[in-house]
Structure 1
């Protein structure tokens, strides 16, 4: 999906389009399609991202005016493990929701494994935990345990029952995330003979360019309410890529983080918690277009000091992704010969940013007169630029309600 973006630079609006293979020249007719994702890894990243945008929209439609926050790639990892236990018919249904049906990748599991390994390299600051927990009352097929462990390096686990399971799961998630995701579950699992799918992610963002001021308490505008005081990071002459989309009534900034990670911030022109139009526009292709279309600028940047946590059972959302029939009969024949339901899809995401960076903003006697103040509800993405994978996506309407 090609879109046009208006660039806000030096106070002047100038038109800028994503480049095509023809060098950006006018074609006069239908636009020639440009293949943006050309390798198995980038195609897999696009699929997991599009699944994430769909999941985010489903969650957003149920929680229309509240903070929401997900790590889609970790949910994809957990559901893909689950797909290994399904019949061919059920696998096809699940793959369609996961957007894998577009890939035609005979080594799909290996491609996903390699993508997960690449986004979890230490410098990127991302850790992921994804695992299946199986009810002890099921007569389980042991081959399934070995199959998942061989492919993804994590062995599904049979539950024992009672409070032991709660401690077991919380301890494992904490271990996999370096102790950063605590209290993953706060209550016991459903007492049904089914599969509990768990996914968690932690991200500690590191900027390329540091902020000189941190912890400055300033007003954050709240839709329909009084402003709240939140901690802000501030820096003059901060390098970003920037543009404004008149159709979506928002200004977009891409802020570079270390190890080829970036944050996209979509800041609506008005104070509003209803971002439906913006959320509906998001696809892997649109964001890839943005990464090639936004142009460099230096701004006086003010950004909330983000320390966010969000958890939910996402299972009901799968019906909104076309999986109503699958939820009724997931046909997990490779896990157990007994009729087996998916009992839960628990997810928790935790994210932190700090003012530090490995370089300073350029020193100049002339300050940029462009200002980008993220002081009202906004939507943001954390994206791995090398692969294009969506790591996190969130809607922030009140940062105080998302504190760890």
Structure 2
């Protein structure tokens, strides 16, 4: 476990977060505690596996897109690759399970555990909808038993494609329907006729805060590494309740903001616009974030956040080799899927996310406003987590919010 030292006395944080400390400020170090098992139920162990897979995938994507906005929904990618694993040989399944971090679970009811978790995170109050499905190329002769077992377990039947523009409409219409019409134009061009198995995963999320923001849409400067600051719409609220801490090793300030229905957002704000985030990215694990959720301390502050409305899509297939699947990609042994040898041709992934200022509570009125300010006005990393399971729903790096569009 990574041992993290936090500066947890917030009277030393003044109007600009991190930048100014009172001359008499005192660091308080959290003493090292005896190791305890953090994930004790099948659902929390599954949540940890999905999260660790997501952090690994995020690191791989960040290494390829070092200076770009990037976003992922690990839970939907896990869902579709788990469907794929049901069609593989025992050896192929072991390889996929290792990449998905399932080898740590020791769960004979793995598919039932995942099904229950997917059902719980898609309840209406959480604001999350998801699409995950396998599409087979026309040249393959699929085995119907595979179609049946996936449908029985996950409620979605893999589909054989015909090829061409009709398939483009079929995929786009299905993803749109599954996400409440929020994810449009999932594919911009038809899948190749010569393709094999195509994994489709998409997630839409509209987060709602527990505590609302009073000001929204105010244009504020956002610092851009190596460029002129850009003006982006922000939401702001004084005396906003968060949990907070500073990691001096990672050189960032961390805030956990509560959302409705047991979801929370973690914001990792580097101390400087030019700070390299590689060390922070490498530190992210399910265990580390769970430790954070227990170590961060309550604070009230003036909170300023960019209004995030984003759409991001990519083919994740080239990244799977970075997760230890290079050999598997060459010979996936998908024996139960098709009569002919089949390979994975694409892992198309798209996320759409909106953050509204609304919440169901107003900040608690105080006689004196807080002197603490947390301005998310430079590149940052964030993640959105389901608290009961610990599952990572979204993770992203915002380099320039001016470039974000839906």
Q: What TM-score range do you get, normalising by the shorter chain?
A: over 0.9
1:5 aligns with 2:6: yes
Q: Quote the offset at 1:159 in angstroms.
A: 0.3
Shift of 1:365: 2.5
* Aligned with 2:118 (options 110, 116, 119): 116
CA distance in 2, matches of 1:151, 1:8: 49
Q: What corresponds to 2:361 in structure 1? A: 359
Deviation at 1:16, TM superposition (A): 4.7
Higher normalized strand content (fraction of residues): 1
Deviation at 1:364, TM superposition (A): 1.7
User: Structure 1's 165 and 262: CA in aligned 2 closer, same or farther, altered over 3 A?
Assistant: same
What's 1:402 paired with? 404
Output the CA distance in 2 between the equivalents of 1:178 and 1:375. Answer: 32
Determine helix, strand or coil for the equivalent of 1:129.
strand
1:79-98, Cα deviation, whole Å (9 max, x unpaired): 00000010000000000000
Partner in structure 2 of residue 318 of structure 1: 320
- Answer with 55-64 or 8-17: which moved more: 8-17
1-side partners of 2:232 and 2:260: how far apart? 25
Q: 1:200 aligns with which of 175, 199, 202?
A: 202
Change (3 A) 1:16 1:121: farther
**CA shift for structure 1 position 193:** 4.1
* 2:180 aligned residue: 178
Give the superposed CA RMSD: 1.1
Aligned to 2:193: 191
Separation in 1, partners of 2:355, 2:272: 25
SS of the equivalent of 1:47 reads: helix
Aligned mate of 2:272, from 259, 270, 278: 270
1:273-305 deviation per Cα after TM superposition (whole angstroms, max 9, x unaligned): 731111000000000000000000000000001
Please give the alpha-carbon distance, in whole angstroms, between the structure 1 residues aligned to 2:311 and 2:179. 14
Q: Tell whether 2:229 aligns with 1:227.
A: yes
For 1:222, what is the secondary structure of its paired residue?
Answer: coil
Distance in 2 separating the partners of 1:250 and 1:352: 25
Deviation at 1:400, TM superposition (A): 1.6
Instruction: Give the superposition deviation at 1:110.
Output: 0.3
Contact kept, 8 Å, 2:129 with 2:203, in 1: the verdict is: yes
TM-score by length of 2: 0.95
Structure 2 CA distance for aligned equivalents of residues 351 and 193 of structure 1: 30
Equivalent position SS for 2:66: coil
CA distance in 2 between partners of 1:68 and 1:272 (Å): 17
Partners in 2 of 1:105 and 1:48 — Cα distance? 14
CA deviation after TM superposition for structure 1 residue 355, in Å = 0.6
Q: Output the TM-score relative to the length of structure 1.
A: 0.95
Tell me the alpha carbon deviations over residues 151-200 of structure 1, each in whole angstroms, 9 at most, x when there is no partner: 00000000011000110000000000001111111112133241000000
Runs of 4+ in 1 over 3 A off after TM superposition: none
2:39 corresponds to 1:37: yes
Quote the residue 1:92 is aligned against: 94
Of 337, 347, 350 in structure 2, the residue corresponding to residue 348 of structure 1 is 350
Question: Structure 1 stretch 96-105 or stretch 6-15: which is displaced more?
Answer: 6-15
Distance in structure 2 (CA, Å) of the matches to 1:163 and 1:193: 15
Contact 2:263-2:387 at 8 Å conserved across structures = yes
Structure 2 gap ranges (5+): 13-24
Question: Do residues 218 (structure 1) and 231 (structure 2) align?
Answer: no
Q: Which aligned pairs between 1:287-306 and structure 2 lie closer than 5 A?
A: 287-306=289-308
SS at match of 1:15: coil
Identify the residue that residue 74 of structure 2 maps to in structure 1.
72
Instruction: Write the distance in 2 (CA, Å) between the matches of 1:330 and 1:202.
Output: 30
CA contact (8 A) 1:273 1:397 kept: no
d(CA) in 1 for partners of 2:394, 2:269:
17
Deviations for 1:115-164, whole angstroms, at most 9, x for unmatched residues? Answer: 11111111000111000000121111000000000000000000011000
Paired with 1:383 and 1:348, the residues of 2 have a C-alpha distance of 18
Distance 2:305 2:220 in 1: 10
Between the two proteins, the alignment pairs up a number of residues equal to 393
Change in Cα spacing, 1:292 to 1:91, as seen in structure 2 (3 Å) is same
